[in-house]
Every structure is written in structure tokens, then in C-alpha cells.
Amino acid sequence: MKLSRKRRRELRHLRHDAQELLDQQRVVLGRAGDVLQQAGRQAKQLSDEHLAPRVEGAVEAVRPTMDRGIARARGAAKQVRVFTAPFVTKALTRTISALDDIEGYEAAQQVRKLGERTGYLKSAKKKGRAGKFIGAGLGIAAAAGVGYALWQAFRTDDELWVAPEA
């Protein structure tokens, strides 16, 4: 398709106008960005000067009420825990014994660990084994043997320790 000279000239003129308009829009958008940046700075300064003190004052006025509410909620939670602890403990022990009865040892261990972790069940104390007593006895016997050997080495009636009479 071949364009006439007149159409080509009009298209060039239109392209030139479009490029000029695009350049003008870039300048306008750049300037708008600068204006928005300055407006943001001004808004921050106004906020720091006027809004922040009012908000801090309102927070300080509400703080005692909030603290009382939090303290009441904690107290109520503590009372609920104290009231429900026997029931939860009994339910956990029944669950553990039922699981032991049906040979669900792993599930019983998990429930026991949950009860210990939450504080409703006390951890099972390990029973004293004979190994502790045997180890303690062997330690005492070894200490007595070392003491006896030292006593024998440093006796006063030993001929090596007695000073020669001159």
C-alpha cells in the first residue's frame, strides 16, 4: 500500500504532535510526583505536630482501663484453670488408663506427655534402681581402699620412715 505525499506529511505531523504530547505528559507527571512528595512530607510534619500528641493523650487516658480489663481477664482465666483442673486431670487419667486397657500404649504416652506439658499431670518419678546403690557401694569401697593404701604407705612404724639412730 502506497501513501500519497499529503497522507505521509499528515502522518508525520500527527506523529510529531503525539511525541510532543507524550513529552509534555512526562514533564507533568514528574512535576506531579514532586508535588505529591512535598505533600507527603507536609502531612507527616502536621501529623507529628498535631495528631501524635492527641493520640498519645487518648492512649494514656484509656491505658488504666485497658490494664484493669487485662488484669480481670487474667484473673478470670486463672479462676477457670483452678476450677477446671481437677476435672481435666481426672479426664486425662481416665483416658490414659482406658488407652492402657485397650493396649494403646503410644497414645497413652502422648496423652500423658500432653498432661505433663500443660501442668495438669505430674511427671512420673523414676523409681530408685539397684544400680544406684551398687554404684554408691563400689565408690565407697574404692575410696576406703585408697585410704587404706595411703595409711599403709605413711605408717610411722615402717622402717623406711623411722629416722636412723646415730
Residues 162, 113 share a domain:
no
**Predicted pLDDT of residue 126:** 66
Looking at residue 73, its amino acid is A
Tens digit of pLDDT for each residue in 32-56?
A: 999 999 999 999 999 989 888 898 9
C-alpha cell at 149: 593404701
Residues 118, 142 share a domain:
no
Tens digit of pLDDT for each residue in 118-152?
A: 877 877 666 667 888 888 999 999 999 998 888 88
With 0-12 / 13-18 / 19 or more C-beta atoms within 10 angstroms meaning exposed / middle / buried, residue 115 is buried
C-alpha cell at 88: 481435666
Tens digit of pLDDT for each residue in 56-66?
A: 989 899 999 99
Residues 153, 91 share a domain:
no
**Predicted pLDDT of residue 104:** 80
Residues 46, 77 share a domain:
yes
Rounded to an integer, what distance in angstroms lies between the CA atom of residue 93 and that of residue 87?
10
Residues 151, 81 share a domain:
no
Q: Are 85 and 118 in contact (CB under 8 A)?
A: no
Residues 87, 51 share a domain:
yes
Helices 52-101 & 105-118, crossing angle to 10 degrees? 150
Q: How many domains does the chain have?
A: 2
Tens digit of pLDDT for each residue in 80-116?
A: 888 888 888 888 888 888 887 887 888 888 888 888 8
Residues 66, 9 share a domain:
yes
C-alpha cell at 57: 493523650
Non-local (6+) Cβ contacts of 122 within 8 A are: 116
**Predicted pLDDT of residue 145:** 92
Residues 76, 39 share a domain:
yes
Tens digit of pLDDT for each residue in 9-37?
A: 999 999 999 999 999 999 999 999 999 99
Residues 117, 88 share a domain:
yes
Q: Cβ of 98: how many Cβ atoms within 10 Å?
A: 13
Structural domain that includes position 20: 5-122
For residue 32, the number of C-alpha atoms closer than 13 Å in the C-beta half-sphere is 6
